[in-house]
Structure 1
Amino acid sequence: MTSEKVSREGTGRSLASSFDRYLQDKGKGRGGDGGNYRRNAARELERFSGWAAGDRGDDDWTGIVADDIDREPIFEDLDEHVFREYARHLAGDRGLKQNTVQTYYRYISAWCGWCVNEGYLEVHYAQRASAMAPLPEDDGRKPGDQQAWTSEQRHALTRYVDERARNAIETYTTLPEDVDPLDRQRARYEALKASRDRTLVFVLAYTAVRVGELLRDPNDPRRRGIRWEEISLEDGSMDVYRKKQQWDAASLPDPVISPLRSYRKLMNPPTERWPVFPTFDQRTLAGLVQEELADRGEHPDSIDGLREESARDLLLALDEDIRPPSITTDGARSILQRLSDIAEIDIDHPKHDYLAPHGGRRGMGEVLVRAFGYTAAARYLDNSEEMVRERYSHIEAGELGDVATEALNEIDSA
C-alpha cells in the first residue's frame, strides 16, 4: 500500500464516511444489505465512532480530536494509540465478559484491516501488539453459546410436545360428523400448531441443524426458511443453506421422520413451496390474506366473507394457497421459551432459562462425540474436526482423566 493511495482515499475523510461501503462489502444477499455480521458490525462501528467523537459518558473523555479543533474524527487522527485506548475502554469496568470484549474489538479490527486494503489507512493499527495489549485473554468461549441439552432435558421436552400433538390430533380426528364447521376448523388449527411445534422441537433436538439454516432470518434474504420441496422423507434428508454459504444435504434421523410425516399429512400444503414452519402470528397472516386476495381482484366484502367463514387466517391461506412466511429464528426461541416453561423443564444455566435452539445442536454434538468420535461428529455437525475437538474438548479431557485414574489404580494395586 503506497502513501500516495492513502493520501488519495483517506485524507480529510471522516471515519463514518467509510462505513456504508464497508458494510456493503461484508453484507450478504443482493446489494450486501443482509446478514447478522453486517448488523453486528454496524452496531460496533457506531459505538466506535461515537467514542472517537467523545461520546463515552465520561466528562474526562473528549474524543480523539484535539479540544481546540471542531470537526469529526478523520483517518489522520487514527494511530495505534487510539486503538489501544479503545481496547482499554472496552476492557474497562463495563460488565463485559472477556470473550465479549474480544468479539467487539474484532469488529473494529476487521474494519481497520479493510481500510488498509481500500487505501483509507496505510497501517493496520488495530493489530499492533501495543494496541491489543489492554485486551483480556480470550477464554475460548462464545457468548451465550454454551448451553447443551442433556439427555434428560431432550427426552422431557420431546415427550411433552409429542403427547401434546397426539392429543390435539386425536381431538380433531375424532370429532363427530355433525360438529359445527368452525369448531372443526378450530380443532384442526390447534392440531396444526401443536404438530408444528412438535416437529420443530424434534428437528432441533435430533438433526443438529443450525436454527439459522432451518428458519427465516430477517437480516439475510437467502435464509427464507426450509420448504417442503427441500425435504425427502423417503431418503431421510433435507436440503439446507449452510453457514458456509452453500446448499447441502442434512440427515433426518428416525425420531424426526414420524413427526414430519404426520405434520405434513395434517397440513396438506397446497404446493411444495410452502414453508415447513409457517408463522402462526395472526396479525401477519391477516394482513397477508387481505392483501393477496385484494391483489387477486376480490372485493373487500368478499374478502370479509371468506375470513368470517374461516376460523383462522392460516386455514384460509391453506385453502387459497396464500403462502405465509416461515417463522423467524427469534420466533423459534419464543416457542422454545413457551414450551420449556409449560413442560416445566429443569434448567440450570447462567444465561438461558429455557432450552435454546443452539442447545439442541450442542446436545447432539455431545452424543455423537461420545458415541462415534470427533470425525463422525464433525461430518454430522457440518464442522471441521478441529472445531469439534475444540468445542467438545471437555469430553476428551474427561476420558483422559478416566485413563489416568485407571493407571493410578493399577499402580496402587501392584
Structure 2
Amino acid sequence: MTARGESTPLVETFERYLQDKGKGRGGEGGNYRRNAARELDRFAAWAAGDGGSDDWKGLAEGTDRDPTFADLDERVFREYARHLAGDRGLKGNTVRTYYAYVSAWCGWCVNEGYLAVHYAQRASATAPLPADDGRKPGDQQAWSPEQRHELTRHVDERAREAIEAFADRRSDGDGGDESGQDPLDRQRARYEALRAARDRALVVVLAYTAVRVGELLRDPDDPRRRGVRWGEIDLDDGSMEVYRKKQQWDAASLPDPVVAPLRNYRRLVDPPDDRWPVFPTLDRRTLGALVEEALADRGHRPEDIEAHRDEHARDLLLALDADVRPPSLTTDGARSILRRLTDAAGVSVDHAKHDYLAPHGGRRGMGEVLVRSFGYTVAARYLDNSEEMVRERYSHIEAGELGDLATDALEEIDGNA
C-alpha cells in the first residue's frame, strides 16, 4: 500500500466505488448502488465512533481527523462484524448481506491500490458473523394457485363494479343541469374506475407474466427503468417490451388472462399518446405538483391553473385532458398496493417475511406452474433465466418428484416381495 493510500480518508473513496458499481449514465442509478451507499455510510459512521457500543471510540480516537486506510486491518472488520451481529433487530442473513456490501468495497480498495490485503474476507474477520441459515430459493414466497385465484377474483370484481358504476353515471346524460348530476360526481366515478382497472391490470400482469416488478415499474434510482408505456405493449400479438435485468430490451409474453384486462383498461384510460405509463402513480401530491408545473410552463397564470384543477375531481383527469404525462408507479408503490389488495381480498398469507402477496411471489408462483407443467427448459425461457438458475431456484420441485419416484419404486418392490 502506498503512502498516499494509507493517508486517504475512507469516505473519499466511496463515490468512485459507487460510480463503478452503479448503473446508467455516470453510474448514478441502480439498487446495488443505493444499498451499498447506505451500508458504507453506516460503516463510516461506526468507524468515526458513532453507533457502536458505549466504549467504542472509533478508529481515530484522540485525533481530529477522519479514519484513513492506515487504520484498517482484519481486527477492524472483525469488530464491525461483531457490531452488526450484535444488533438484535437484524436477522442472520441480513447481517451477512450488510457486511457483504462493506466487504465488496474492501475488495475494490485492494484492486485500486488503497489496501494491500482484503482484510474483510479473512476468516478471523468474518468469524463473528452469524452462520448462513441455509435458506433455499424455494423457501421464498410464491403465490399458490388458491392465493392467485382469490386475489385476481377480488380485483376483477372490484374493477367490474367500478366500471359499471361509471357507465351508469355516464349514461344518465352529459349536462350537469339537465341530468341532475354533478359533473364532478361523474369524474369521481371515472377516477375510481381507472384506479380499480389499473390495480386489476397490475395484479394480473404480476400473476401471469412472471415479469420482474423492477422491469415493469419505475425505479427512482435507475433512470433507464421508467416504467412500461402503452407504446411498448402489443395486445394483438400478446407481447410487451421490457428492460430486462440483463440490461437490454426484450419481449415478454402476455397470456390470455392478461390481455382482456389490459385492453379494457386502455379503453378506459384512452391515453393521449403511446408514451403514457401503463401504471401511472396516483399519488395526489405528486400529480398536483406535476400539473401545476406543466401548466405554468405553458404560460397559464396561477388563478387559471387553480380554476382548471377545480373543474376536475382529480389531478389525474386533468393530466389526461391536458396531456401532462405522469410518472409511472414505483416498485415500492406496487408493494403498497398489493398490501392493500391482499387485505381487502382476505387472502391468507403464512410467510416468515411477508404478510401479504409480494410482487416477486407472483413471478415465483408462475415459475412453479411452468416447471411442474412443462419442465425446466420452457420455464427458463418464460422466466428469462438460465435453465441452471431455474433448476437451482426450483430444486424443491425436482426433489419432490424424485421422492415420488422413489416411493413408487419401493411400493413396487414391496408388492413383488
What range is the shorter-chain TM-score in? over 0.9
Q: Distance in 1 between matches of 2:50 and 2:90?
A: 18
Question: Which residue is equivalent to 1:225?
Answer: 227
Question: Which residue is equivalent to 2:341?
Answer: 339
Counterparts of residues 2-13 of structure 1 (less than 5 Å): 6-7=1-2, 9-13=4-8
Q: Distance in 2 between matches of 1:363 and 1:303?
A: 47
Counterparts of residues 38-187 of structure 1 (less than 5 Å): 38-65=33-60, 71-92=65-86, 94-141=88-135, 146-175=140-169, 176-177=172-173, 178=179, 179-187=181-189
Question: Which residue is equivalent to 1:24?
Answer: 19
**Equivalent residue of 1:311, what SS?**
coil
Letter in 2 for 1:387: M
Residue by residue, what CA displacement relative to the aligned partner does 1:296-328 show, whole Å, maximum 9, x if unpaired? 111222222222222221111111100011111
Residue by residue, what CA displacement relative to the aligned partner does 1:60-115 show, whole Å, maximum 9, x if unpaired? 333344x5555332112222232233333333463433322221121111101111
Deviates more, 1:19-28 or 1:149-158: 19-28
TM-score for the superposition, normalised by structure 1: 0.93
Question: Which residue is equivalent to 1:33?
Answer: 28
**Equivalent residue of 2:222, what SS?**
coil
Question: Which residue is equivalent to 1:3?
Answer: none
* Aligned mate of 1:249, from 241, 248, 251: 251
Deviates more, 1:385-394 or 1:68-77: 68-77
Q: Any stretches of 5+ residues in structure 1 without a counterpart?
A: 1-5
1:93–1:334 distance in 2 versus 1, CA, 3 Å:
closer
Alignment length (residue pairs): 408
**Equivalent residue of 1:273, what SS?**
coil
TM-score for the superposition, normalised by structure 2: 0.92
Contact 1:99 1:142 in 2 (8 A): no
Question: Which residue is equivalent to 1:403?
Answer: 405
Q: Determine if the alignment matches structure 1 residue 15 to structure 2 residue 10.
A: yes
Letter in 2 for 1:47: R
**Equivalent residue of 2:251, what SS?**
strand
Letter in 2 for 1:91: A
Deviates more, 1:329-338 or 1:24-33: 24-33
Residue by residue, what CA displacement relative to the aligned partner does 1:104-132 show, whole Å, maximum 9, x if unpaired? 12111110111112111122222233333
Contact 1:195 1:259 in 2 (8 A): yes
**Structure 1 position 191, deviation (Å):** 0.8
Letter in 1 for 2:279: F
Q: Distance in 2 between matches of 1:324 and 1:318?
A: 9
Counterparts of residues 177-326 of structure 1 (less than 5 Å): 177=173, 178=179, 179-326=181-328
Contact 1:214 1:225 in 2 (8 A): yes
1:305–1:236 distance in 2 versus 1, CA, 3 Å:
same
Letter in 1 for 2:2: S
1:378–1:208 distance in 2 versus 1, CA, 3 Å:
same
Residue by residue, what CA displacement relative to the aligned partner does 1:148-203 show, whole Å, maximum 9, x if unpaired? 11100100000010111111111212331234422222211111111000000000
Letter in 2 for 1:352: H
Deviates more, 1:43-52 or 1:253-262: 43-52
**Equivalent residue of 2:150, what SS?**
helix
**Equivalent residue of 1:248, what SS?**
strand
* Aligned mate of 2:367, from 355, 365, 368: 365
Q: Any stretches of 5+ residues in structure 2 without a counterpart?
A: 174-178
Aligned-CA RMSD value: 2.0
